[in-house]
Chain A
Amino acid sequence: MIEIIETGPFNTVQDLGRPGYRDIGVSASGAMDPLAVRIGNILVGNDDGAAAIEVQTFPFKLRFEARAVFAVTGADGHPMLDARELLPWCTHFAEAGQILELRQPLTRARAYVVLGGGLDVPVLMGSRSTALRGGFGGNGGRPLINGDRIEIGTHSDGLPLPASGIAVVEPAVALDDVFPAPIDGVLPIRAIAGGEHELFASDGEAFWNQTWRISSRSDRTGYRLSGEPIKPTATIEMRSHGVVPGVIQVPPGGEPIIQMSDANTAGGYPKIAGIIECDLWRLGQARIGSRLRFIRSTHAEARAVEQAAARYIEDVRQTSQMIKRALKAMA
């Protein structure tokens, strides 16, 4: 059991999401940085999809009511356990009564508290994620509030973790050859031209060539971008159609909207592009006010990036298990 001691708004329970129900109007939800949740779960010995706490407003504090293993992944900066700085992306043990504190990250947007055994909240439609719009899933279908108490599931990993923990080279560093770093503070995000790209003619090029800023009117549903508006050459009436996270729509005002984890299930705005799925976690870690630029990508590149990320995940899974087995044998 854990108790939330201090939380800002919009911190929620999330796992890898609830795909497959868009046809009945249920968005996928899930962590904005699913890579951080996967790696955290592997480190503590959970199944990949165990539920974690997504923290996007800080400071955040929780109290452990029993001994537990945990890792904090995603954001940069050091979490604190009873005021002692801890390594991020690393497993730690907490004793009953100890308080974990997460402070405002230096550059990124979201931290994930992953607990050994996962958060034991009900599985609804195949997921423990909070669906804020539907008001279900997670912890009572709502963001966490002070005083919330959440059970931790049974930790079933048979291999003991080393007392000093086990950590990873975080994805942004380990995969720096496939995830290019920001250039002069501008995050490159790869995308493929969408179904209505041709409607924008020369403004379509302006979409790719300018630097956009993530506006304050952004949340888990979508990021609204600020920049030089782009307009289609003609106003067209479109039927609503299905949308997924990563779709970039252009409303009449001309400033694009990127659909994120709590994406609408349908929409009628023209789609100028779609972000490759493997770059979505980088957007999930981009803060309001930060700048980004879209880079033309291809399906082949998207597949190559996806495969590199999958190799990284598999390496962490296999190697961490091997290390735990080796240390157990030598103990």
Chain B
Amino acid sequence: MSAIDLSDPATIAVLTDALIAAGVDGLEITKAGGHLRIVVSKGEGARVSLIGNAQPDFSAPLVAIVKAPMAGRFCASHPSAPAEAEHLPRAVSDKDVIGFLRIGFVLLPIPAGRSGLLTRRLTEPDALVGFGDPLCEIEPLQ
């Protein structure tokens, strides 16, 4: 099972949406690294508080993690493409495909999902990954 990054805005947004959809007033998650509290107020949206080491460092660039949408073998490039060394960092746009999950002969393209700078791969080529596993980091363009 993958560890949940409590400081990930996307994770917080998903949890908040899930709470609202389920009609639940709030949620607290405590981990060694920090404490996340989401309180849903009727008509006012949600209040989010983060305490502890999980608190994002707002002085550092906000790094987005692209995660695996399901299980499969990670391919950084298309299996039909000639093998070339990848040069990082490189600029990507939200629709750019930054890798594939290979399941049998089927490939699931992984879009960057946001524009920015692809700085680091977090998964080795051909590694077996599970749902939610981090694949790469994208930093905002300066």
Taking Cβ atoms with an 8 Å cutoff, the residues of A that contact B are: 84, 87, 89-90, 162-170, 172-174, 312, 315-316, 319-320, 322-323, 326-327, 330
Query: Would A162 and B106 count as touching, CB distance under 8 A?
Result: no
Instruction: List, in ascending order, chain A residues with CB within 8 A of B102's CB.
Output: 169
Query: Which of B18-26, B55-63, B108-116 sits within the interface?
Result: B108-116
Contact B106 A320 (CB under 8 A): yes
B104 within 8 A of A: yes
- Tell me whether B122 is interfacial, beta carbon within 8 Å: no
Having A162-B108, A169-B107, one finds 5 other A-B pairs with CB under 8 Å, namely A87-B78, A87-B109, A166-B109, A319-B104, A327-B69
B79 near A169 (CB under 8 angstroms)? yes
Question: What is the distance, in angstroms, from A188's C-beta to the closest C-beta of chain B?
Answer: 20
Give 8 pairs: A residue, B residue, CB < 8 Å, sorted on A: A90-B107, A166-B108, A167-B106, A173-B79, A312-B105, A315-B105, A316-B106, A323-B108
What's the Cα separation between A327 and B72 when bound, in Å?
Answer: 13
**Is residue B103 contacting chain A, with contact meaning CB distance below 8 A?**
yes
List, in ascending order, chain B residues with CB within 8 A of A84's CB: 95
Q: Is A164 touching B97 in the complex (CB atoms < 8 A)?
A: yes
Q: In this assembly, does B142 line the interface, its C-beta being within 8 Å of a C-beta of chain A?
A: no
Residues of A within 8 A of B110 (CB): 164
Chain B interface residues (CB < 8 Å from chain A) = 69-70, 78-80, 95, 97, 100, 102-111, 131
Indicate which residue in A164, A315, A316, A330 contacts B109 across the interface (CB closer than 8 Å): A164
Residue among B79, B100, B108 with most chain A CB within 10 A: B108
Contact B70 A323 (CB under 8 A): yes
Query: Which listed residue (B78, B95, B97, B106) contacts A166, Cβ 8 A?
Result: B106
The reply to whether A174 and B105 contact each other, CB–CB distance below 8 Å, is yes
Q: In the complex the two chains form, what is the Cα distance from A316 to B109 in whole Å? A: 15
Q: Are B100 and A326 in contact (CB under 8 A)?
A: no
Q: State A316–B108 Cα separation when bound (angstroms).
A: 12
Complex CA distance for A316 and B69, rounded to whole angstroms: 19
- Select from chain B the residue with minimum beta-carbon distance to A312: B105
Contacts of A172 in B (CB 8 A): 80
| Closest-CB distance, A98 to chain B (whole angstroms) | 14
User: What is the CB-to-nearest-CB distance from B17 to chain A, in angstroms, rounded to a whole number?
Assistant: 12
Instruction: List A contacts of B95 (CB < 8 A).
Output: 84
B residues in contact with A169, CB < 8 Å: 79-80, 102, 105-107
The answer to whether A167 touches B109, judged by C-beta atoms less than 8 angstroms apart, is: yes
* A314 → chain B closest CB, angstroms: 10
Shortest Cβ distance from residue B108 to the other chain A in the assembled complex, whole angstroms:
6
Which residues of chain A have C-beta atoms less than 8 A from B108's C-beta? Answer: 162, 164, 166-167, 323
Residues of A within 8 A of B106 (CB): 166-169, 315-316, 319-320, 323
Chain A residues positioned under 8 Å from B100 (CB to CB): 167
Q: Please indicate the chain B residues that have their CB under 8 angstroms from the CB of A323 in the complex.
A: 70, 103, 106, 108
Q: How far is the CB of A287 from chain B (nearest CB, A)?
A: 19
B114 to chain A, nearest CB (A): 13
Min CB distance B125 to A, Å, is: 15
